[in-house]
Amino acid sequence: MRILAISGSLQAKSTNLALLTEAASVVPPGVEFVLFDGLRDLPHFNLDIDADAVPESVLRWRQALAGSDAVFIASPEYGFSLPGVLKNAIDWVIGSGELEGKVVGITAAVPGPERGRRGLQALRDTLAAVRATIVGGEPIPTGPALEREVAALLQALIEAADNMNSARPRFLELPLERREIVQDVATQTAGSVSEKSAANSGRTEYVEAGPTRFAYRRFGKQPSTPLLLLQRFRGTMDHWDPLFLNLLGSKRELILLDNAGVGLSTGRVPESIQGMAHDAAAFLDRMALNQIDVLGWSMGGCVAQQLALDRPDLVRRLVLAATGPGGVADAPKIPAKVFDVMLKPVNDDEDFLYLFFPETEQGRKEGLAQLRRLEQRREEPIPPVSSESIMAQAKAVKAFSMGSTATLPRLGEIAQPVLVAGGHADVMIPAYNSFVMAQRLPNAYLILYPNSGHAFHFQHARSFSSQITQFLA
């Protein structure tokens, strides 16, 4: 278990910091107690900053919270309330949701009885607003009894976190040595994939199902349950990262599909997610596939959920990447710029970098490397999705997101094992949606990648493909 410790005071000799130091000395074996020292680095909370480019210090704060099982806050009372630096830090996670459902132990080191209560009540009210689960809340006087009372609060916090975590979605472990993670990043930023690789040389084939002529590519290791890949908004088969495909295809048979009305497939794009799932099922039936696994990215993840609901006999396992169930009323607001960029007639590199990768130096480097890999396919590129098809997709996505056709109310019906994954800095479909899905799906695992955006699976192609292979085995 990992407990994140936070002092509400920035003073080097704060009695609350001393209390946390005492707590660290009595932590039982198997519990990691980590002091977060970055509150002073956080800028004043500003919604405009949060919508445009999240500062590195804020990302570090959010990641520290997301990576902890519980939080221990010791904070003084300032002006009958909580310190401004602590309130500012909590403001930065109201929209991103890292404290929602988190077990948080709170106390204050005080010089005598009846001190610090109003500050703790203000802290309790603030944490209640972000739906944290609060443990403690009484001040602890400095003196001989401090060690005993700190140990008691710490034990209560650990027990509450154990109970909470046993009811939460399971998280897959990432069994990667540090050298593998370094190799993962180095491979992707270096950028080149052979033109003769399976992903870049796979032949486009066609099959007719009713009025639609479906274009698809099928390659990879056999025998295995085929893995169907369903693409994002405005995406075609060409928009899958060849590095990611080659890594997946070395262990699984893959089927890439241009669904009806998209890319090289004929027909019309349905104006609903249900219609898209119906078309995908028609393709699979025509291919005489009795059982498949499905990986859906973004809009493709919405289609994958609906396909699993409509055809539980057909879908064995699901991988849902950077997607959501629609209708999540309390999800963080998507910046207006996202919609403006999504609906531009033609997108350039800067648009893709904004939509799919975090606005950091490393994110930009990884994004540019991935865009260059997309240019290495031997065949003529698939034409862009038509404006008519884009508008139909947009209508379907809007209805799904607003809740009228969402899968959210029916997630409990998906009994198959599901791997839910996302990027922590996704501006298109905030990671909060992944957590909501994993909570409601009865057999779900959840992975959130730090410093990653909507295309986290291309940023971390090696590690995520390994996780998929492990999950589908």
377 and 433 share one domain: yes
For residue 445, give every residue at least 6 positions away whose Cβ sits within 8 Å of its Cβ, in sequence order, or none.
Answer: 169, 170, 171, 172, 417, 418, 419, 420, 438, 471
- Enclosing domain of residue 44: 2-166
229 and 347 share one domain: yes
Of 135, 166, 197, the domain-final residue:
166
pTM tops 0.85: no
- Locate all alpha helices (DSSP H) within 259-386, ordered by sequence: 273-286, 299-310, 336-342, 349-356, 361-373
Q: What radius of gyration, in Å, describes the C-alpha atoms of the chain?
A: 24
- Residue 200: closest CA among 237, 153, 146: 237
pLDDT per residue rounded down to tens, the chain (473 residues): 899 999 999 988 889 999 999 999 889 888 999 999 899 999 998 877 655 567 889 888 998 898 899 999 999 998 889 999 999 999 998 877 788 889 999 999 998 777 889 999 999 999 988 888 999 999 999 888 888 999 999 999 999 988 876 544 455 544 333 333 333 444 444 445 555 567 777 889 999 999 999 999 999 988 889 999 999 999 999 999 999 999 999 889 999 999 999 999 999 999 999 999 999 999 999 999 999 999 999 999 999 999 999 999 999 999 999 999 999 988 898 999 999 999 999 999 999 999 999 999 989 999 999 999 998 877 889 999 999 999 999 999 999 999 999 999 999 999 999 999 999 899 999 999 999 999 999 999 999 988 899 999 999 999 899 999 999 98
Total domain count for the chain? Answer: 2
CA dihedral over 16, 22, 26, 29, signed as positive or negative = positive
274 and 365 share one domain: yes
Angle, CA of 469, 471 and 473, to the nearest 5°: 65
Q: Which two tokens stand for residue 100?
A: 């929602």
Could you tell me the CATH number of the domain that includes residue 146?
3.40.50.360
Structure confidence at residue 176 (pLDDT): 37
431 and 310 share one domain: yes
Crossing angle of helices 461-472 and 242-249, rounded to 10°: 30
Q: Tokens 């349950």 — which residue?
A: 225
155 and 207 share one domain: no
Calpha distance 213→216 (Å, rounded): 10
Start-to-end C-alpha separation, the chain: 28
Could you tell me the CATH number of the domain that includes residue 448?
3.40.50.1820
Q: Is 28 exposed, middle or buried (0-12, 13-18, 19+ CB in 10 A)?
A: exposed
256 and 304 share one domain: yes
Of 166, 192, 208, the domain-final residue:
166
Of 166, 186, 204, the domain-final residue:
166
